A and B are shown apart, each in its own frame.
Chain A
């Protein structure tokens, strides 16, 4: 990384005003990569979580494998994938999805386990089978914990997309940072960082809103 000239302002606003398209493009790509990773992560985690919840003996192997993936620093994981999948968004996505797994699986399992036994009994008493009970009673009651997991997965992923695009795997705000370093232009470096922070904060806030909207009973204290 070149030493950036100290004389440069942190953000040169005239550049920002003349390049809205470029900024938006990077933000949009960043969002795309993040949302795809969390969506794919959910699709994989839900069945894994159901297995752990239903058969406890699967907890140790599934959490164990996910835990090892989670413990690998992202830059190293991307580096492992580059010889195989190259500097592509596939490399980024494989890495990103693998980090969401532990977060999402654990939160889904915790949410399902916290469903009170008497609620489950009541559903059974009403003649609900296992499938209907899961869909209509247990998953909705687990929703606050599940959304809490999605929040963590989303903000974590946003930071990781920045790292992936900084080394050139997939697009996003890291690309802006890398451009700034190449051109010795502080504005791009600072904006790439700041927009990553803002994006994480905004999505986190939005998900808090979603959490409240879809689980009104939590706030009513029922």
Chain B
């Protein structure tokens, strides 16, 4: 056991694993890059739709069900089918990751905007705000934590799915695991897994900290703002969103 862990430490100490297109920095960069791009595209597509559906109250059924469908779709199947269609490499990975990131972002955004307390919106209307002003000054500020929670869920899921992109010959941290499996090299396998887990946990808890930091004081549980009748969230402030792609 200690011998094995020693090998893993040696693996990380070996300079050749830190340079070239298959070195850790390059694989990490590829991993992060595909996650960031797919999240950006998914957010640009999903947020306007979520805001509009939530504000008008239309299409709730579709907004909720897109997540149920997304959840039932095995990420690995989406990824490999995309590769059959588009060829291997970056393109299928980007398409699959983007597709899988849309549902959590869209549904959380819709639920957040719908969940803003009606009395807050009535008050805003009462003091003469237009629909657009209600959206930008009341609904969005009150929904920021939940909207961000959707992005965070999508990000954690995308980090996990990007690991699978090694199966379609995209260079990412998953590549180390795949190489380790096919070469029966347990050291490389373990080292790759460690790197993936570190990235996943940093994403999960790092974005969790960001979420806490951007939550307006008036929305925090037990905040004075709430007692004074500040903006309230109606929807579950702890949405259960369960990524299929692990």
Chain A positions within 8 Å of B, measured between CB atoms, are 1, 3-4, 10, 68, 70-77, 79-80, 82-83, 87, 99, 103, 106-107, 110, 152, 155-156, 158-160, 162-163, 166-168, 174, 177, 186, 189-190, 192-194, 196-197, 200-201, 204
Contact = CB atoms under 8 A, between A and B. Distances in A.
B193 interface: yes
A194 B88 contact: no
Contacts of A190: 81, 84
A200 B84 CA distance: 21
B18 interface: no
B169 interface: yes
B159 interface: yes
A196 B167 contact: no
A99 B190 contact: no
Given A76-B192, A197-B73, A160 B246 contact: yes
B186 A200 contact: no
A162 B193 contact: no
Nearest to B246: A74
B207 to A, nearest CB: 11
B4 A76 contact: no
B183 interface: no
B246 A72 contact: yes
A197 B77 contact: yes
A68 B169 CA distance: 28
B27 interface: no
A196 B76 contact: yes
Contacts of A80: 190, 193, 197
Contacts of B156: 71
**Interface residues of B toward A: which range?**
35 or more
Given A79-B190, A80-B190, A156-B242, A166 B76 contact: yes
Contacts of B62: none
Contact of B76 (A70, A103, A106, A174): A174
B246 A79 contact: no
Contacts of B164: 75, 163
A99 B160 CA distance: 13
A121 B245 CA distance: 42
Given A72-B200, A80-B190, A82-B189, 4 more contacts: A75-B174, A82-B181, A167-B177, A197-B74
Contact of B181 (A162, A167, A174, A201): A167
Chain A interface mostly: helix
A75 B163 contact: yes
A168 B169 CA distance: 18
Given A3-B87, A103-B242, A159-B74, A73 B196 contact: yes
B26 interface: no
Given A1-B169, A75-B163, A10 B71 contact: no
B29 interface: no
Contacts of B74: 158-159, 162, 193, 196-197, 200
A200 B177 CA distance: 26
A3 B88 CA distance: 7
Nearest to B242: A152
A194 B201 CA distance: 31
B181 to A, nearest CB: 5
B71 A155 contact: yes
A73 B197 contact: yes
A121 B120 CA distance: 35
Nearest to A161: B74
Contact of A159 (B75, B163, B177): B75
24 contacts: A1-B167, A1-B169, A71-B200, A72-B197, A72-B200, A73-B200, A75-B160, A75-B177, A77-B193, A77-B246, A79-B180, A79-B181, A79-B189, A82-B186, A83-B189, A159-B75, A162-B74, A163-B76, A167-B178, A190-B81, A193-B80, A193-B81, A200-B74, A201-B72
